[in-house]
Every structure is written in C-alpha cells, then in structure tokens.
A = this chain, B = another copy of it.
Amino acid sequence: MEFDDKIPIYYQIKNYLYHQIVTGELDPGEKLPAVRQLAVDVTANVNTVQRALTEMINEQIIEPQRGKGNFVTIDVDKIKQLKDKLVKEQLTIAYQELHDLQLSDNEILEELRKFMKNRGVENE
C-alpha cells in the first residue's frame, strides 16, 4: 500500500479500513484480517496497524474479541453515519479550498463537470 508521507500512516490505514467498511467490502459483523496479516497487507508495522484499530474500536466502528479477532460493527446505522461523515468532510475541505482560490459556486460546479468529462483522458 502506498502512503502519503505528509499524513501519519496509522491515519491512512484507518481511512483505508473506513472505506472497506463503508463500501461493503467488509460487511457488518464480518471479521477483519488478523492484525499481523493486515500489517503484511498494507506493508506497515503491527503496532501502527494496532494504533489505527484502537482508534476505530474507541469509535465503536469495529469490536475486538480477544483471542478471536476484530469484527465490523453490526450497527448498520453507525456505518451509514460514517459514510455521511466522510462525504461531508470531503465536500467541506474541497469546497473551502476551491472557494479560497476565489472560485464561485458556479465555477466550482463547472470545473468539477469539466474534470469528470476529461477524467481518464490523461491516463493514456
């Protein structure tokens, strides 16, 4: 897994797992890979992974069962709330940044449409 060296790894792992859960690649109640396996998967240290997991446990997104593993919460509302939170956070950041660059609401929408239209063209 590739990391942005401007952001703590444990934070990026957390975000990675958030996505797995929100998108259903990890279902409610499903067991996560073992910490040691996760560490291999994302190419990070066990302690770093554990730090990410501990925060998610505190947030009650996952539930640990000693000796068994970590499990995604079965509270689907909680997962829905998580998704909404992530979406809103991203929109807030992007809007503020673009607005600070003096783009009007319409210009932001326009640039986004343009971006979507041209997306992929540069990947060739």
Q: What is A's interface to B at a CB cutoff of 8 Å?
A: 6-8, 11, 19, 22-23, 83, 86-88, 90-95, 97-98, 100-103, 105, 108-109, 111-113, 115-116, 119
Contact = CB atoms under 8 A, between A and B. Distances in A.
Contacts of A101: 19, 22-23, 83, 86-87, 90
Contacts of A97: 86, 90
Complex copy number for this chain: 2
Contact of A109 (B94, B105, B113): B113
The listed residue with most B CB atoms (<10 A of its CB), out of A92, A95, A97, A105, is A97
B95 A116 contact: yes
A37 to B, nearest CB: 22
A11 B6 contact: yes
Given A6-B8, A8-B6, A115 B98 contact: no
Contact of A6 (B7, B87, B94, B113): B7
A17 to B, nearest CB: 13
Contacts of A98: 87, 90-91
Contacts of A105: 116
